[in-house]
Amino acid sequence: MSQEGCVEFARLGRLVVIFAVIAISTTTAGAWPRKSAHKARMGFLATSTLTRGTWGRNEATYLAELTFTPESDPLSICLVGSDGNEVPPLPRAVLNSASGTTSKVRCDSDCDRPYGELILRTTPSDPMAIVHERPQYQPRMDRKPRPIDILPCYRTVRR
């Protein structure tokens, strides 16, 4: 291989490495904060959907208020809990607690949705209630979101 060929090959190698570093850094910079779990206090306001079965994963969706620090204002969120079928559902005492419960959550923008699209079936303390008419439960909230307000979605992290 001639000296010109070696220089050209080295230049091409450097470009490939630079592009790889740029691609990896821009991809991970946006993805890492979403994947990390944060400890937060949550209070349950309403049960939206509940799927429990003997096969696969169980999933429950709630309207909840989330606070990351005692000084911060509560954030209205859509909270999704997904566990294996061997894991029992959240206890009624946790769902009913006026002070809320502390847990780890992570943001999942794939399930963000407008407040008006969230079906609110019942109180959080009665997740097994069967509703024969159209679900229209209205939770008590200090600041109720408008129907077009997007509720950020968080998923519980249980280990």
Q: What b-and-e string marks burial along 17-51, b requiring 16 or more CB atoms within 10 Å of the CB?
A: eeeeeeeeeeeeeeeeeeeeeeebbbbbbbbbebe
Averaged pLDDT for residues 92-98: 87
Give the pTM.
0.69
- Which pair of tokens denotes residue 40? 């937060």
β-pair partners for 59: 51, 82
Averaged pLDDT for residues 43-62: 83
Residue pair 124/140 in contact by the 8 Å Cβ criterion: no
List the one residue out of 120, 146, 158, 130 whose CA is nearest residue 44: 120
**Digit-coded pLDDT (tens) for 102-140:** 999 999 999 999 999 988 888 887 755 555 556 667 788
Give CA–CA dist 139/128, Å, rounded: 17
